[in-house]
Structure 1
Amino acid sequence: MTKTYRWGILSTGKIAHKFVQDLKLVPEAQVVAVGSRNQASADEFADLYNIPHRHSSYEALVADPDVDVIYIATPHAMHYDNSLLCLNAGKHVLCEQAFTLNAQQAREVIALARQKNLFIMDAIWTRFMPSIDEVRRMLHEDILGEIQMVNATFGFKPPYDPQARLFNPELGGGTLLDIGIYPIQLAFMVYGQKPDSFLTTAYIGATGVDERTGIIFNYSGGRMATINTAFTMQLSNDATIYGTNGYLHLHAPFWHTSTMTLSLTGQDPKLISKPLIGFGYTHEIMEVHTCLDAGQTESQWMPLDETIAIMETMDALRAQWGVVYPQEK
């Protein structure tokens, strides 16, 4: 008999709406509760999606006995406190990326989850999409040969508002935590390790956060990954993995793609299509269910030690740029 998992939604922002819309497409998922910082917001969200339990605080949400798993959809700077709140209430957690502000916070959250034997995962939805399943298969079978280079960009130009989430350091603003995580995690997945060293530069805007970055990760044997992020201009938002046998181009937006082109030496390019279910959050939701069904407290495709390693790498990048969040001072 298929088990149904009862989800609670912590926060009612834009991404929470998209997530719940996809949650409704997963037969084993039931959205039973939402928590906001005020009753009106919780009620409005719950009315949209026919959610029975509407809580006017996050504390009330995590205390709801009918909730099995909580999706955290707050800004980056709140993830640490929100995760601890959920775990201390005995709830499994899917926490939106970036997992925390820094590696120390990530270590503390993960230590608590392990202590309590609860599932927690960094919600890097890209890792669970059918296209990335195909990338992993190609890497495992050495279709591209030895991988020598990864290129990835993620950039767009939002309206400038120093108080908004993207630019406000108190909310963990800057490109690195918001969108830089996507090309960085791709490099981690392809090479299976932290970079041995890196070169980087960044443009730091008026609020003190990174608005444009260039990053080169270096690995043994001259292998590398080049990454660009921006809030000041539109980038191509694609990614390419280059090997000695050819290359694989992940079409834009690469972190949410359903199409890729495989170009092997001496062969015609091949278009690969891997459709998404819904908007794409469905795949990470199903991974949470798969892990819980198996009694696992972490995903093999987004392991917790890798989450810490990614945060450590982002800490090192910020240190070189001189970006420090108020919570770290």
Structure 2
Amino acid sequence: MSFGGNKMKNYHWATLGCGVIANELAQAMQQNGQNLYSVANRTHSKAVEFAQKYGIKKVYDQIEDVFSDPEVDIIYISTPHNTHIKYLRQALKAGKHVLCEKAITLNSAELAEAKQLAQENHVVLAEAMTIYHMPIYQELSQIISSGRLGALKMLQLNFGSYKDYDMTNRFFNPNLAGGALLDIGVYALSLVRWFMQEKPTQIMSQVKLAPSGVDEQAGILLQNDVGEMATVALTLHAKQPKRATIAFDKGYIEIFDYPRGSKATITYTADGAVEVIEAGSLAQALRYEVNDMQKALAGEPEVMHFDYTWDVMEMMTAIRKQWGLLYPEER
């Protein structure tokens, strides 16, 4: 399917939200020789300040005005998780293409609704998942496809952040869809899905809840129908390295800081030989997403890997169902 335009078109991007990620987006656009077209934010004064910082011409008086602006091609949503579906509905119904921060929705039912709206309005819907766009993962996929590492057996992933024990901040607050799974677990599960041939069909997990009732710590075991397995360890109140080990029968890959990885080490089983693969740059992460989104609008929607986003959301929904963990919007 073609969504019109061509790869050289200067698409008009709007940011919905002006936090850390929005700042990175504005910088990525400037690296591309472009500028954000407009900014929408709940607090108008912050939007004005953001626009001045990056030379953005248009600031909306009301956050909803971005949806009715005929000049806007793409909206990047970077508001809290639990607000995504509200803004996705408005953006997609207005015929806007959307790149939405992870986790794209709270659950698979919300994502199914958003997917349907995107199809009905002939627009691209995608999750801003860095892993799907970092060049290192394209490079590793080619190496794996060559067969020199053999068959995938096991993945082990860690991700731990130390967040202050404040139950009102976004990490622990159920009213802001807090918890380890949607905030950091989405990266680990996206990496699992990138390397596995098929999505996991068997899922077991354990969870430790924070005093607020969201998931503070979790261990997850996954297996798919071809016997590939993964273990995931997540913590929000204890630091862990963002480390991934992907084990094949002829060698294993190690990646540190995998959400924005740029370097991987391959150790071969037969002789212990070590090969270092480097591709891309951490600092360019948002630029890779922007470029791929523009390719999607030019007729290559598969570069956004919505199928993986869908599988990951189904996994996270199933895991939280095991825990009995619902957010206020889901009750």
In the superposition, the TM-score normalised over structure 1's length comes to: 0.94
Summarize deviations over 1:181-218 as a string: whole Å, max 9, x none.
11101111111322121221010111110000000102
C-alpha distance in 2, partners of 1:299/1:229? 29
SS in 1 for 2:168: coil
Contact 1:34 1:42 in 2 (8 A): yes
1:49 to 47, 54, 68: 54
Alignment-derived partner of residue 112 in structure 2: 107
Structure 2 unmatched runs, 5+: 1-5
2:287 to 260, 282, 291: 282
Within the alignment, does 1:9 sit opposite 2:15 as a pair? yes
Structure 1 unmatched runs, 5+: none
In the superposition, the TM-score normalised over structure 2's length comes to: 0.94
Summarize deviations over 1:106-151 as a string: whole Å, max 9, x none.
0000100011100110111111111111121122222311000011
Within the alignment, does 1:21 sit opposite 2:27 as a pair? yes
SS in 2 for 1:156: strand
Give the alignment's Cα RMSD to 1 decimal: 1.5
Paired residue type of 1:324: L
Paired residue type of 1:269: V
Paired residue type of 1:9: T
Alignment-derived partner of residue 150 in structure 2: 145
Alignment-derived partner of residue 305 in structure 2: 302
Query: After the TM superposition, which segments of 4 or more aligned residues of structure 1 sit over 2 Å from their partners?
Result: 219-223, 298-301, 305-309
Alignment-derived partner of residue 40 in structure 1: 45
SS in 1 for 2:35: strand
Paired residue type of 1:262: I
1:256 to 231, 235, 260: 260
C-alpha distance in 2, partners of 1:193/1:123? 21
Summarize deviations over 1:57-102 as a string: whole Å, max 9, x none.
2211122222111100001101101111111121110001101000
Paired residue type of 1:145: G
Contact 2:187 2:259 in 1 (8 A): yes
Contact 1:248 1:262 in 2 (8 A): yes
SS in 2 for 1:173: coil
Matches within 5 A, 1:58-97: 58-97=63-102
Alignment-derived partner of residue 328 in structure 1: 330
Contact 1:209 1:323 in 2 (8 A): yes
Matches within 5 A, 1:183-262: 183-220=188-225, 222-251=227-256, 253-262=257-266
C-alpha distance in 2, partners of 1:84/1:145? 44
Contact 2:218 2:234 in 1 (8 A): yes
SS in 2 for 1:299: helix
C-alpha distance in 2, partners of 1:272/1:86? 39
How far apart are 1:38 and its partner, in Å?
2.9
Contact 1:46 1:52 in 2 (8 A): yes
C-alpha distance in 1, partners of 2:136/2:309? 21
C-alpha distance in 2, partners of 1:271/1:14? 31
Give me the identity figure in percent: 32
C-alpha distance in 1, partners of 2:58/2:252? 49
Summarize deviations over 1:149-173 as a string: whole Å, max 9, x none.
0111111101222121111111111
Q: Which moved more, 1:319-328 or 1:221-230?
A: 221-230
C-alpha distance in 2, partners of 1:275/1:300? 17
C-alpha distance in 1, partners of 2:272/2:261? 23
The count of residues paired between Structure 1 and Structure 2 equals 324
Matches within 5 A, 1:110-149: 110-149=115-154
How far apart are 1:277 and its partner, in Å?
6.8
Contact 2:35 2:56 in 1 (8 A): no
Q: In structure 2, do the counterparts of structure 1 residues 221 and 14 end up closer, same or farther at CA, with 3 Å as the change threshold?
A: closer
Paired residue type of 2:133: F
How far apart are 1:39 and its partner, in Å?
2.1
Contact 2:261 2:282 in 1 (8 A): no
Q: In structure 2, do the counterparts of structure 1 residues 68 and 221 end up closer, same or farther at CA, with 3 Å as the change threshold?
A: closer
Contact 2:95 2:122 in 1 (8 A): no
Paired residue type of 1:299: E
